[in-house]
Chains A and B, each alone.
Chain A
């Protein structure tokens, strides 16, 4: 409860983007927060915690029911710095990433916006049953 209450003090404005470098290796890019939510300078940034996992069907959140989640931590104290990180992920379907910043006393920011890595494989269409297929043939009819 204490952590949640204090979390509001840290800037929430992480922006995470990602791009495909090669199969299942994803480059994440973001800008570290530079200020607390009360407007004061962020002077004790400790790390960025990135969580990823299967996207929901509308790619707006991580859906843990569809597969395992992963997490990694990037140690950084450079408030406001532009950051990139290459991570190898399982590459099972579209993968969503969110990040939070943590300061030296373990206070967490709000979550970043969701960044989506699109798997480079097509999504298959509606399956059908192959047996019992009925073919309709139309005879030409004189009008």
Chain B
């Protein structure tokens, strides 16, 4: 049994004007420096974070951001390493906007060694 700390949430700027209900926030990821594609091939991936209008928004320095809890969205078993994430908006027709600039995230799946059997020192 071990505990892994998930990557921290990513904030994605809310565009102005904010998109209508039904527009989804989409995340694409791949190894650092990857070229994003709308049809990702493993190990790259795509995550539908849901209707952007229902996502939590946080304000940082006066700017509103969608709060994407990326740590809970990544597939189980994703290998550790440095990844880039880019984001798009997708409307109800399936159209998607252009990719955002990339944001680098380190997925750390390495756990410290398991300690041996403790003993009484007294």
Residues of A within 8 A of B98 (CB): 93-94, 119, 123
Which A residues from 106 to 140 make CB contacts under 8 A with B?
119-133, 135
Classify the interface of chain A: helix, strand, loop or mixed: loop
Also in contact, A24 and B15, with CB within 8 A (given A92-B38, A130-B60): no
- Whether a CB of chain B sits under 8 angstroms from the CB of A54 is yes
Give the chain A neighbours of B100 by CB distance below 8 A. Answer: 123-127
* A92 and chain B: residue at smallest CB distance: B38
- Min C-beta distance of B61 to chain A, whole Å: 8
Interface size class of A (residues with CB under 8 A): 20 to 34
Contact A125–B13 (Cβ < 8 Å)? yes
Nearest neighbor of A55 in chain B, beta-carbon distance:
B98
CB contact between B35 and one of A24, A65, A129 (< 8 Å): that residue: A65
Question: Which of chain A's residues 80-102 have a Cβ closer than 8 Å to chain B?
Answer: 90-94
With a cutoff of 8 Å between Cβ atoms, the chain B residues found around residue A127 in the complex are: 10-13, 65, 68, 85, 87, 100-101, 103
> Does any Cβ of B come within 8 Å of A66's Cβ?
yes
Q: How far is the CB of A103 from chain B (nearest CB, A)?
A: 34
Q: List 8 A-B contacts (CB under 8 A).
A: A94-B98, A121-B97, A124-B12, A124-B15, A126-B100, A127-B12, A128-B103, A129-B9
In the A-B complex, the 6 residue pairs with the smallest Cβ-Cβ separation, listed nearest first, are A121-B97, A91-B95, A125-B13, A127-B103, A124-B100, A131-B8
